[in-house]
Chains A and B, each alone.
Chain A
Amino acid sequence: MKTSQDPMTPNLFQVQRIRRELADTFTLELTAESNNEFPFLPGQFNMIYLFGSGEVPISISGDPAQPNRLIHTIRAVGSVTEGLKSCKSGDMLGIRGPFGSAWPVEQATGQDIVIITGGIGLAPLRPAIYHLLANRQRYGKIVILYGARTPADILFRKELERWRSRFDISVEVTVDQAVSNWSGRVGVVPKLINRADFAPEETTALICGPEIMMRFSVKALQERGVKEDHIYVSMERNMKCAIGFCGHCQLGSQFVCKDGPVFPYSQISSAFRIREL
């Protein structure tokens, strides 16, 4: 149940906890001042309003089965997100949402699932991973391929280790740069796709990360034979109103805030090829 009917009016949420994830990345745990639950679908985002500073679109990174806690994982890259990084327990924030399309976790029932992600792109996919693991028996093979800049930049490291220790999913992590004390993989994420264990003709792929990484990952998936309309990508643009009015996030004929952020690749493949977009 949404706490406000007007999508332009923020609802008050209180910061319960802030956890540092990486040097520039942190997670906020929020609860509604109204104590209402906050249901959302994996892949959706909120507009977070830091009073006196501004509003930013941030994907929800928590567990959709726990709607009493709203979790956002944020990278501090500008004035608003730097301000959010300085939040303390008890601070109040404005939240509008949830907005946008979701990862097709229901539609993908019975399929093998390949999750391809890099950097902070793991955060918008984490709710989908929680859902897949909570409903493990409904899916075929589950493969998570994650890339980070260095071993120190691996997001949700402990969770990745926990998922990796399960016998019913496959998790591969690779980094772009490392020194010799790192015993894991060094290389790019798309390279992991060639050797991953899944049945291409029965696979749904969920991709979130830098657009170049997504482009090369789509290419690698297509080379393996995954159908274009079974590949989903999460796009990032400059979302402002979040309801398709202002046009700031327009991508070709689509509004990323309203039609996305999760798109079937077949729906936006032409936009991927237009350099000016």
Chain B
Amino acid sequence: MVSVEGIDRMISEHPFFSGMEPGYQAMIAGCASNQSFEAGQYLIREGDNADHFYLIRHGAVAIEVHTQGQTSVTLETLHEGDVLGWSWLVPPYHWLFDARAIQLTRVIAIDAACLREKAEADHSLGYELYSRIMPVMSERLSAARLRLLDLYGSPRKGQ
């Protein structure tokens, strides 16, 4: 289901774009649509073109990787207020993982080609976008590194 009703307001209210200059928010709204996904429905499939990214308004999404013949592994879950996807910023613009709604999920979908074009034409907008996405990437990289430590795994032999 796709709708464009109230998209400006939704963008201004989403934490990812909070505090952004209204002119930029309006430019982004021109590339945005309102979408919803039922539990189990995929927003993103590995290998597909990264032609959208998503701002989660309600619900939850699992980032998954699959191995042939085995149950998919969930790498991380994203929730209300999170942003989903950055492969749209990195050539050749293909998704690296799957993303599946684990409950009814409402998102603002942003047309990546449209926004890339606007950012190319207005580098200040591009800078604004990157300065919002980089902290998210940094936080997720840091979280992934923490999980590599297997914090709760078996400790060294104790008493």
Residues of A within 8 A of B (CB): 24, 54, 56, 75, 77-81, 118-120, 147-149, 153, 174, 176-188, 190-191, 195, 209-210, 212-213, 216
* Chain B residues whose C-beta falls within 8 Å of the C-beta of A181 in the assembled complex: 71
Please name all residues of chain B whose beta carbon is closer than 8 Å to the beta carbon of A210 when the two chains form the complex.
151-152
Does B158 lie within 8 Å of A81, measured CB to CB?
A: yes
Q: Is the CB of A188 within 8 A of B143?
A: yes
Considering residues A118, A149, A182, A187, which has the most beta carbons from chain B within 10 angstroms of its beta carbon? A187
For residue B58, CB closer than 8 A to chain A, the reply is no
Which one of B2-10, B47-55, B76-84 contacts A? B76-84
Chain A binding surface SS class: mixed
- Chain B residue nearest to A184 in the complex (CB): B77
Q: Tell me the B residues contacting A by CB distance below 8 Å.
A: 60, 62, 64, 71-77, 79, 81, 100, 102-103, 139, 143, 146-147, 149-155, 157-159
- Closest partner residue, chain A, to B157 (CB atom): A78
| 10 A-B interface contacts by CB (under 8 A) | A78-B159, A149-B152, A177-B74, A177-B147, A178-B74, A179-B73, A191-B139, A209-B152, A213-B151, A216-B146
Contact of B158 among A78, A176, A178 (CB under 8 A): A78
Tell me whether A180 and B151 are in contact in the complex, defined as CB-CB below 8 angstroms, given that A188-B143, A195-B81, A216-B146 are known contacts.
no
Nearest-CB distance from A120 to chain B (Å)? Answer: 8
6 A-B pairs with the lowest CB-CB distances in the bound complex, closest first: A119-B152, A77-B158, A149-B152, A78-B158, A180-B72, A179-B71
**Which residues on the B side are within 8 Å of A78 (C-beta)?**
157-159
Chain B residues closer than 8 Å to A187, beta-carbon distance? 76-77, 143, 147
Closest to B148 in A: A176
B100: chain A residues at CB < 8 Å are: 180
Q: Are A77 and B155 in contact (CB under 8 A)?
A: yes
Checking A148, A176, A186, A195 against B62 with a beta-carbon cut-off of 8 angstroms, the contacting residue is: A186
Complex Cα–Cα for A81 and B155 (A): 13
A180 and B62 form a contact (CB under 8 A)? yes
Inter-chain CA distance A81–B102, complex, in Å, is 39
- What B residues does A191 contact at CB under 8 A? 139, 143
On whether A188 and B72 interact (CB within 8 A), knowing A119-B152, A153-B152, A180-B64, the answer reads no
Docked complex Cα distance between A152 and B67 (Å): 21
| Contact call A77/B74, Cβ cutoff below 8 A | no
Contact B151 A77 (CB under 8 A): no
Report the bound CA distance from A90 to B155 in whole Å: 30
CA distance A225 to B130 in the complex (A): 26
Q: Roughly how many angstroms separate A75 CA and B139 CA in the complex, as a whole number?
A: 31
Question: For B62, what are the chain A residues with a Cβ–Cβ distance below 8 Å?
Answer: 180, 186
**CA of A120 to CA of B152 in the docked complex: distance in angstroms?**
8
Q: Measured between alpha carbons, how far is A213 from B95 in the docked complex, in Å?
A: 31
B residues within 8 A CB of A195? Answer: 79, 81
**What residue of chain A has the Cβ atom nearest to residue B145's Cβ?**
A188
Cβ of B150 and Cβ of A179 under 8 Å apart?
A: no
Which of A75, A153, A183 is within 8 Å of B103, CB to CB?
A183
Q: Point out which of B73, B76, B149 has the most chain A C-beta atoms below 10 A from its C-beta.
A: B76
CB–CB B74/A186 < 8 A: yes
In the assembled complex, how far is the CB of residue A57 from the closest CB belonging to chain B, in whole angstroms? 8
Q: In the complex, are the beta carbons of A77 and B157 less than 8 A apart?
A: yes
Q: How far is the CA of A190 from the CA of B64 in the complex (A)?
A: 21
Docked CA distance A119–B155 (Å)? 11
CB-defined contacts of B159 to chain A, threshold 8 Å: 54, 56, 77-81
Min C-beta distance of A170 to chain B, whole Å: 14
Q: Are A180 and B71 in contact (CB under 8 A)?
A: yes
Q: How far is the CB of A69 from chain B (nearest CB, A)?
A: 24
Q: Report the bound CA distance from A181 to B70 in whole Å.
A: 12
Contact for B74 among A119, A153, A182, CB less than 8 A: A182
Query: What residues of chain A lie closer than 8 Å to B155, measured between beta carbons?
Result: 75, 77
On chain B, the residues within 8 Å of A184 by CB distance are 77
A195 and B57 CA atoms in complex are apart in Å by 14
Q: In the complex the two chains form, is A185's CB within 8 Å of B151's CB?
A: no
